[in-house]
Chains A and B, each alone.
Chain A
Amino acid sequence: MAGKPTVGIYSFTGCEGCSLMILECEDQLLDVLELVEIVNFREGMDKIADQVDVAFVDGAVSTSHDIQELLEVRKNAKIVVALGACAWPGGLNVMKNFQDQEDVRRYVYGDKWAAYDAIPARPIDRVVKVDYYIRGCPIDRDEFLEVTQAILMGRAPNIPNHPVCVECKLSDNPCRFDFGEVCLGPLARAGCKAICPSFGTKCEGCRGMVDEPATQAHRGVLEKYGLSVDDMMREYRLFGGWFWGGDLGVPDLPERATSK
């Protein structure tokens, strides 16, 4: 990338908390702004340009309008980064996919349900090609800075591929299973500094799983504590439902093949 790379930050179906986490890098924000120029960030500024070198995208795709707009973002960006669990793998939004879709819409909009655009929620990489993933609900500030730095330097980002249990042990946290909780730490990808167990609650698996999860070992843990695979699936469906029956057989869009 020649000159100061330009950056856009875009929000789809989500709480925009991951965009906000960027602003929460208070100590580094001014340094980051020395290195890149933010030109498109509706939440924080008047727009300067449509074309960007790097597009950070938070939020899932859950309306047909989202699809059109995301394709536009991809067309205008050299690099697309999925920002947070809603962008990938869909996060909490996918919980609605486990219910009857018409009933979900009727429950909220009553008789006018059909007037409001809604499709099953899906990760953004079902619509466009994604180049980098920053995981979590919300994202981890340090990981955002790591991935940003890697993109600017043209190197691969350093993303942990070990389970949250490792970070928990390093932090000397008591095991959540001993408190009768169904913790996803044995399978969930670390990189969050085991923040939830460190603050006294189970890991909810918001960063997805490691690449080759030790499912047999996890099964052993569940058996030891008298828990079932169903108990674990229930937990996984909070943030990772897409991989546990929430994908509803949604095919890749034909447009995806032609997106960069």
Chain B
Amino acid sequence: MPDVNINVHHITRLEGHGNIVVNTKNGEIEELRLEIVESPRFFEAMLRGRKWDEATHITCRICGICSCGHTTASLNALENWAGIEPSSQTKKLRKLLFNGEQIQSHVLHVLYLAAPDFLGVGSVIPLIETHKEVVLIALRLKRLGNDLCCLVGGRHVHPIAAAVNGFTKLPKLADLVALRPRLEAARADLAAVVGVLQTLTLPQFERETEYVALNQTEGNGEYPWQWGDSILSSEAGLIPLEEYRSVTNEYLVDHSVAKHTKHKRDSYMVGALSRVNLHYDKLHPAAKQVAEALGLSVPTHNPFMINLAQVVETVHAVAHSLQMIDELEAAGLREEDRSVPVKAGTGIGAADVPRGILFHEYSMDETGTLTGSNLVIPTGQNLANIENDMRALVPQILDRPQEEVRHLCEMLVRAYDPCISCATHALEVDFI
């Protein structure tokens, strides 16, 4: 068996800067690392001294891809601090903002970043020639996600209008209703995407791990990603949200500027596949149909299936958005009280954003000035699990040419859709 010596400097089609190092000798792994080499941004330190009502516009800047997700987690934390239960109208509008981002983020990953691997090209650009129809569908779906965010939040990258206890500007109901035909058309577009995906073969690889996702113990059976009061683990069951540190257990490793996490095993998985594995029953029937059509039966232990789980969730987000628009139309939109009581205290909030469960925690003094914060990012939680997958995968494929081993390792990392800017821009430290 030939020795493998892989050193991928800056993995492409990935948000942020990561390297893969794999060395084997006589069939044994000598070295295996997913190095995270992003420049740290020190958000927690920078938040100190800023006001409570600036926290959301600052922390959404951690990530350009999931800034609506950071916005959602930040608002959940601030409302927890202020002791506010937002109105049903606010929750529904936020769900639209959140769904819009899930749609655009998942489409970006599956069709722009991952699909080239399965079609044997280096980027989406050659696909404009060979698969123009799919590229046009990808552009349409992504645009729909963006427009949904723009309509509700003003902008997809760093939304403006979503604030604590409401929106600084309400969308026009007629504009929301006008999205309905496009959401309906998106269902047909997604059916075409499913048709293409059915013709592709995913790498065969399985490794069981611990799955972790957000949960609602007092929910109404909704897919729990926009808000939650607890954490669900495939190994440990329910954990109250306030005890999230007992799940994340962050620790520093030398080869990563992003911290790793572990809970019951050496590592755990968060994100689309983890959510689909844990909350399959709460998916919209249309999403379940797509899961069946794609051969995704739960629990699935193949991380390459994350790509398919993202498509399933996109179908769910489209169907759920139609439902939210129907409900908002029936109830009508009205200006509401947005007052926020300022006090000394702590707030914890979470959202299960495109790449997995995201925690925001803030401490405020009596003037509402931030004295400390803690942000735990999905990609940081997945890093150890990706390495463990790679450690299990590499020995199974050592008989293949080194170039193929390298490519499969890259595909594995990419399948998790890591967002390295996020993971390194928000490192935690104990402050309480």
Contacts and interface: CB of A to CB of B under 8 A. Distances in A.
Interface string B110-153: 00110010000011110010000000000110110010000001
B12 A65 contact: no
A114 interface: no
A166 B60 CA distance: 27
A199 B168 contact: yes
Contact of A109 (B57, B154, B252): B252
B65 A46 contact: no
A85 B64 CA distance: 13
Given A44-B123, A46-B12, A20 B64 contact: yes
Contacts of A71: none
Contacts of B146: 24, 26
A138 B163 CA distance: 19
Contacts of A43: 12-15
A108 B158 contact: no
Given A20-B157, A195-B154, A63 B39 contact: yes
A164 to B, nearest CB: 13
Nearest to A34: B128
Contacts of A221: none
B58 A45 contact: no
Q: Name the prevailing secondary structure of the B interface residues.
A: loop
Given A43-B15, A99-B45, A200 B169 contact: yes
Nearest to A121: B41
B64 A42 contact: no
A138 B160 CA distance: 11
B190 interface: no
Contacts of B168: 199-201
A117 to B, nearest CB: 8
A135 B425 CA distance: 22
B327 to A, nearest CB: 23
Contact of B62 (A15, A46, A108): A15
A107 B45 contact: yes
Residue from the set B46, B67, B112, B154 with the largest chain A CB neighbour count within 10 Å:
B46
Given A15-B425, A66-B39, A45 B139 contact: no
A45 B46 contact: no
Chain A interface size, under 10 / 10 to 19 / 20 to 34 / 35 or more: 35 or more
B205 interface: no
Interface string B396-431: 000000000000000000000000010001011101
Interface string A86-112: 000001110110010001110111101
Contacts of A21: 64, 157
Given A62-B39, A95-B46, A109-B429, A45 B158 contact: no
Interface of A: 11-21, 23-24, 26-27, 29-30, 33, 38, 41-48, 59, 62-63, 65-66, 91-93, 95-96, 99, 103-105, 107-110, 112, 115-118, 137-138, 195-196, 198-201, 204, 238
Given A24-B157, A46-B12, A65-B39, A17 B169 contact: no
B12 A108 contact: no
A138 B158 contact: yes
Contact of B143 (A26, A59, A199, A200): A26
**Max chain B C-beta neighbours (<10 A), residue from A27, A198, A200:** A200
Interface residues of B, number: 61
Nearest to B410: A46
B157 A107 contact: no
A15 B113 contact: no
26 contacts: A14-B64, A15-B64, A16-B16, A16-B421, A17-B61, A43-B12, A43-B14, A44-B12, A44-B112, A96-B46, A104-B45, A105-B42, A108-B40, A108-B428, A109-B429, A118-B39, A138-B64, A138-B158, A195-B160, A196-B154, A196-B160, A199-B155, A199-B160, A201-B163, A204-B57, A238-B54
Contacts of B194: none
Interface centre among B39, B108, B123, B142 (most CB of A within 10 A): B39
Contact of B157 (A95, A105, A138, A199): A138
B67 A42 contact: no
B161 A201 contact: yes
Given A20-B65, A109-B252, A109-B427, A92 B40 contact: no
Contact of A42 (B14, B41, B156): B14
Interface in B146-197: 146, 153-158, 160-161, 163, 167-169
Contact of A99 (B48, B143, B153, B431): B48
A110 B427 CA distance: 11
Contacts of A109: 40, 252, 427, 429
A30 B140 CA distance: 12
Contacts of B64: 14-21, 138
Contacts of A26: 139-140, 142-143, 146
B408 to A, nearest CB: 15
Given A15-B425, A17-B157, A116-B40, 8 more contacts: A16-B65, A23-B142, A43-B14, A92-B41, A96-B41, A107-B48, A200-B161, A200-B167
Nearest to A47: B12
A215 to B, nearest CB: 24
A167 to B, nearest CB: 14
A47 B9 CA distance: 11
Contact of B112 (A19, A23, A199): A23
The 6 closest A-B pairs by CB, nearest first: A17-B64, A200-B168, A45-B123, A46-B122, A199-B154, A200-B169
